[in-house]
Chain A
């Protein structure tokens, strides 16, 4: 029997339906239960529209949930608006342009992140001390970006911006890190680099992490738990030894299981094959 500490993240019966009662009704989350231990790194996979991103958005507070409870380190997030949750949650989005402010300089972006949720201050944002600190942090990325602190963020490549978004999401240690297909829009080389930095920071800081990905390869080689979503629910939860022995074929079999159990309709199955094989 393994000792179990208090969970870092808990979801009970989380439901959310968009445009309820109309022909466009989307049942994004249909009763999600999840419990994550501190420092646990879970990969979320599933077809388009299975609820992966909705799950992350619900936790971050991008929209209110219809029913259920979300607790982070024991605190009920339900009553907190998105910007208050952001004090505890670091996020990296799929679009590299979402996580940074293009017209602000690299240093200004990082300075904002360094005071996450504590912006009501009339002190200069970029003191010499802060700049030196930012330079050290950016040197840790080992991407040569320390010489571009004064460049507008918009001048940087998608990969550079995504690496900086990751730094911004973790520079103040978050209670939870949410990664939403954060390498999907990058070229393979940049994606690899950002994935490396991701693994480094999660390991170094022991971050509780939920990472959505479309890549089964990533699901196999990263993280210590795989959550497969389908139609707004978590239908597979693989961890421990089973996760370590997991192969791509196993995951494809699970997708096939979903389908044959009539959990997945034909077009969704087709999409899986197109996307993953």
Chain B
């Protein structure tokens, strides 16, 4: 039971990552490799602050802001210097590798015995459980801190998802979506598309930094390689969510991305539980992404016949 709760909690933490990837990959239709750096940066900034005794909530927020800053850097590289989109993200995340090493004075940082969000969840949990530390649920004893962690993470993700959903329906949010969908139209409607791009990258990487910051506290340490290949995890979550829960409308897409991250994490945990070697984790992640991209297409072909000549369906 604790294993399941743990997997779900990690899934919810990665849901924030999936929401970040959703903004660049779906709202903007492009892959932003800044994620590889901003995830680790969020973790490192939060970690360093926690070691110094900063309040966990504040430290976590700073991690998110640092991630957003990384997004702004990528955005400005593109808008001011005209660096191509993939390269801009790679350049930023490469630079961030050194920044993270510098921040942490090395490649590892332990958060053991530091006051973190997990400590807070623990405190609330044991207070509610009346000091025993264990809750009996569905016939098994489970640790109340794990439950509390799951609940609080869920609350954070639900709150972020709701805010994102509302934001994308404001005038500003609409202008960002229009920019991602049709730049010519956006310009003709007086939208500053450069500004939209920088803002979208900031929000996306802010969410990814937040995800990294919370994840580090959950596992109790920060490692320089935390963000390696994280974009693929984000994409896998997003696509699994879209396959399972659809992508019609903004609210639906946001829910799908978040839920996809949880499902993906449960699939990974299941595979590991069945005895799969932990070293092959990234390999399975890659396979999941390919499967999530190919299977829906294959199904559609099966149901509707081959696509028309111009690739569109009527």
A joins B in a complex? yes
- Residues of A at the B interface (CB closer than 8 Å) are 60, 81-84, 86-87, 91, 93, 97-104, 108-109, 111-113, 115-126, 168-169
Given A93-B184, A98-B184, A100-B185, A125 and B190 touching (CB < 8 A)? no
- The CA-CA distance from A93 to B167 in the complex, in Å, is 30
Pairwise interchain contact B189-A86, C-beta atoms closer than 8 A = yes
Q: Point out the residues of chain B lying under 8 angstroms from A81, CB to CB.
A: 192
Q: List 13 A-B contacts (CB under 8 A).
A: A60-B188, A83-B190, A83-B191, A86-B191, A103-B181, A104-B178, A104-B181, A117-B191, A118-B171, A122-B172, A125-B173, A125-B174, A169-B188
CB distance from B310 to the nearest CB of A (A): 13
CB distance from B130 to the nearest CB of A (A): 43
**Minimum-distance CB pairs A-B, first 4:** A117-B190, A119-B175, A86-B190, A121-B171
Given A83-B191, A99-B188, A121 and B172 touching (CB < 8 A)? yes
Identify the closest chain B residue to A126 (Cβ).
B169
Given A112-B189, A112-B191, A168-B189, A103 and B170 touching (CB < 8 A)? no
- The CA-CA distance from A209 to B7 in the complex, in Å, is 62
Pairwise interchain contact A83-B182, C-beta atoms closer than 8 A = no
Q: Does B51 contact A (CB under 8 A)?
A: no
- The CA-CA distance from A114 to B166 in the complex, in Å, is 19
Pairwise interchain contact A91-B188, C-beta atoms closer than 8 A = yes
Q: Does B193 contact A (CB under 8 A)?
A: yes
Pairwise interchain contact A121-B191, C-beta atoms closer than 8 A = no
Q: Contact partner of A101 among B169, B171, B185, CB < 8 A?
A: B185
Q: Point out the residues of chain A lying under 8 angstroms from B171, CB to CB.
A: 111-112, 115, 118-123, 125
CB distance from B220 to the nearest CB of A (A): 37
Pairwise interchain contact A124-B185, C-beta atoms closer than 8 A = no
Residues of B in contact with A, size category: 20 to 34
Pairwise interchain contact B174-A119, C-beta atoms closer than 8 A = yes
CB distance from B313 to the nearest CB of A (A): 12
CB distance from A125 to the nearest CB of B (A): 5
- The CA-CA distance from A212 to B279 in the complex, in Å, is 63
CB distance from A3 to the nearest CB of B (A): 33
Interface residues of B in 152-182 (CB under 8 A from A): 166-167, 169-175, 177-178, 181-182
- The CA-CA distance from A104 to B185 in the complex, in Å, is 12
- The CA-CA distance from A22 to B171 in the complex, in Å, is 44
Q: Point out the residues of chain B lying under 8 angstroms from A115, CB to CB.
A: 171
- The CA-CA distance from A102 to B166 in the complex, in Å, is 20
Q: Point out the residues of chain B lying under 8 angstroms from A124, CB to CB.
A: 166, 169-170
- Residues of B at the A interface (CB closer than 8 Å) are 166-167, 169-175, 177-178, 181-182, 184-193
- The CA-CA distance from A109 to B177 in the complex, in Å, is 10
The total of interchain contacts (Cβ-Cβ below 8 angstroms) comes to: 90
- The CA-CA distance from A264 to B193 in the complex, in Å, is 40
Identify the closest chain A residue to B196 (Cβ).
A119
- The CA-CA distance from A98 to B188 in the complex, in Å, is 10
- The CA-CA distance from A115 to B169 in the complex, in Å, is 14
- The CA-CA distance from A99 to B83 in the complex, in Å, is 27
Q: Point out the residues of chain A lying under 8 angstroms from B169, CB to CB.
A: 124-126
Identify the closest chain B residue to A130 (Cβ).
B171
- The CA-CA distance from A101 to B174 in the complex, in Å, is 10
Given A82-B187, A83-B187, A86-B189, A101 and B177 touching (CB < 8 A)? yes
- The CA-CA distance from A91 to B185 in the complex, in Å, is 9
Identify the closest chain A residue to B176 (Cβ).
A119
Q: Point out the residues of chain A lying under 8 angstroms from B175, CB to CB.
A: 112, 119
Q: Point out the residues of chain A lying under 8 angstroms from B170, CB to CB.
A: 121-125
Pairwise interchain contact A98-B182, C-beta atoms closer than 8 A = yes
CB distance from B248 to the nearest CB of A (A): 9
Q: Point out the residues of chain B lying under 8 angstroms from A87, CB to CB.
A: 190
Pairwise interchain contact A100-B174, C-beta atoms closer than 8 A = no
CB distance from A72 to the nearest CB of B (A): 14
Pairwise interchain contact B185-A119, C-beta atoms closer than 8 A = no
Q: Point out the residues of chain A lying under 8 angstroms from B172, CB to CB.
A: 119-122
- The CA-CA distance from A151 to B187 in the complex, in Å, is 23
CB distance from B35 to the nearest CB of A (A): 22
- The CA-CA distance from A103 to B253 in the complex, in Å, is 13
Q: Point out the residues of chain B lying under 8 angstroms from A109, CB to CB.
A: 178
Pairwise interchain contact B189-A113, C-beta atoms closer than 8 A = yes
Q: Point out the residues of chain A lying under 8 angstroms from B177, CB to CB.
A: 101, 103-104, 108
Pairwise interchain contact B190-A111, C-beta atoms closer than 8 A = no
Other A-B contacts than A101-B181, A121-B170, A169-B188, 5 sampled, CB-CB below 8 A, are A83-B190, A86-B188, A98-B182, A98-B184, A119-B190
- The CA-CA distance from A249 to B177 in the complex, in Å, is 48
Q: Contact partner of A99 among B174, B185, B190, B192, CB < 8 A?
A: B185
Q: Point out the residues of chain B lying under 8 angstroms from A120, CB to CB.
A: 171-172
